Structure 1
Amino acid sequence: MEFCHGGRLLDPTLAGVQIWQVRITADGEPVGSLRAARCLWWEAVDLRERLTDEGSFLAEVARQLLDPDGAFIQDFDEMVKRPDYMLVLDRCEMVPPWDDALTVAGVVAAAVGRLTDGSFAVVFPRSGAPGSVGAQLLEQAGTLLAAVEFTGELLVLDTSTGALADAAVRVRDRLIDRVRHGGVDRDDLDEKDWLENQEYRALTPRTAALLRLAVEQLSQEAWQEVAALGDEALPRGAGGLFGSLPPVTLRQDGAWRRQMARAFDDLAADLADGRALLLCKGEEMALHLGIRRAQNIHRNRPRLLARAVEGLPAAARDFDWYACSDLLFEDHDVLSLFDDDVDRAPDVADRALPDWFSPFDDDRARAPDRGFRHP
């Protein structure tokens, strides 16, 4: 997406209304465009008159939202937190196959994120709204992004409520799913195919490499804390890696923590071979924490990520953390130890904790004499 807004430095018409053109490309080729008017009521001498002069859908917005004196009408003023900060989307053109509501919703979410802050009212045309181009797509996109009906011609989204942020995440996840699953939303996949398809269960090389990096980081932190803590019990709310485990583990001694640190090592060794075996509860917890750490690296450490996957082939299913969480585990029972009712019933936890490092299946157990990475 390329954003363009131009004008003369001292042009008085730029005060209060900025017209932004967004050019959308795929693989370097243009596939569509979006136009948005960024309106600041307090900077414009008369926002109603200014929008009316633009004509088309912007004039319709002025007619419906501003009274003849230039003030916002009461219904709009009461509906949004800051009516004086407004972004109006009035034109969207997309070529096939990009002309679908989900793609446009992703484009709009990105544009709104770039052109607004947390206190804007975003106005969408509804299908048939006068003067708009691509109104049907914009209405569908607005609905996906949690915009609500204001009039027969307008949808409105208040960015201060947080609804947009949640909806934008859902839209982005669905778009990523389409790429990963050959143009099909995950929700449309047959459940049996999803759960039993070995391709989905297999880690891609880049996903395995990033998970390995994450688990190795956790292993290093675990061994550092093993040395520092000894047999010391941790208080509730303690920081660090062992403080992030279920509260019922805080009373465990140094020997137990050494086994947990080794679980990270065992899992990292598996991931070096591109797999995650998960042969005991401790390794399940290690992978849960590893997925969380890998997600953080994926989102916030692009340079570290690039080094971790350098030279490995890219795949559409790379970094599908939902699939990792859903398909690599037989169940998520170990996470129930985070529940408050378990913490209030320590006898339940005490019965569960000794089994954390016992193999689920004796025929698939790790070598008991493999020792520890650190003495």
Structure 2
Amino acid sequence: MKKMIWLVGCVLALSACAEGESDSGPKPQANLDAEHLEEKADGISNRWTTVISELPLNDSVEATIDYPDWFHGYTLSLEAGQEISLRVAVEEESMVRFYGPKTHTGWDGAPKFGRALLAQDVPAGYMVSFEYTADEAGDFMVVVGPKYVWRANYSITTESEIRCDSDDQCPSSMSCEHNGVFCITSPCDVSYSVCVPREECAFDEDCDSGWCAYTEDGSRACKDYVKEGESCGGFRMAHLIDNCEPELICAAPYDIVADVPGVCAMAEVSVAELRANPELYNGRVVVVRGALKTGYGFCTKMACPDTNPCCNSCGSELLLVDQSADSPDSGIGFHENGQALGCSGNECNFMDNCDVDPGNVWTVGEFRWDAEWQTMTFDAKSRWARP
């Protein structure tokens, strides 16, 4: 029996770009009429989707889509009767689809599906939520992509019980409880009735460690805090809420996209504060409301002929700076998932070919200070464009 609920969350702030446009330019389909747009949407899973990876359960994925990808797809396997809750937050007006079970595997190795089980067009800056119960076991896929621009940020959050018969069917951080029903964390996660509950409580003060959390049946029991860099908050059922350790903040861009999960962080700081006291923040997760700007450019020095005036190779690093900064000297190197971001091309276009569009940004990540080389970098865990 399928159970489907679509809810659109309240918008708190719109994208900085004008409606229907972004710095990366409009998609060709922006000029199609509504009838043709719907025809294309019906086949997006098989014709227009780039399959990215398997979607992790009870976790969040944050990513950026850009040319030449029309849509991104994430697969997941469900058992018969398994329930799953998904939330998709988008920066630009987007199509969100849910397909399954898989009908076959194509010649290209990608899963193929019939018509969408669920379909929703989501306005810019909104989040859509839905729940689904699988009638039969199989492979399913969540698809998301902007309707009118190429580049956009999005996040997907899942919540589901992971059924198991043995420990090797569970993620590395979990084990199959003794009666072989669900994968659980250790110590026992109070969300699952297959566990022996931790001590009952009425207030946080009743817990020797952790905090007093709601359980799935509405009672309360002590639950461990989550650590710096781990997921917290967001629009979740009460028994799935995680709180950060007391000295941390749960950082999320709620003024940009409502109800998305946050990240436990040390503090919200400026780039100037990071540069002034790098030893204090080294290795810590912090939040910065700043801007991404290009650093000093560099080029080869070939003498270009008139027939090829742009023959040199050029590049520039991307820097995280305070919004009021007027010089690259006041910035720090910006990385994402351990990779330095920058711009590259020739002397005529390299400033227009950046890994990430420069502009105002909300970001949370780890600040790193190399005392030997006197260098500073910011490795982003999450990034959202802001006005």
Q: Tell me, yes or no, whether TM beats 0.5.
A: no
Q: TM-score, normalised by structure 2?
A: 0.21
Instruction: Indicate the structure (1 or 2) with the bigger Cα radius of gyration.
Output: 1
Q: TM-score, normalised by structure 1?
A: 0.21
More helix by share: 1
More strand by share: 2
- Greater relative contact order (Cα 8 A, min sep 6): structure 1 or 2? 2
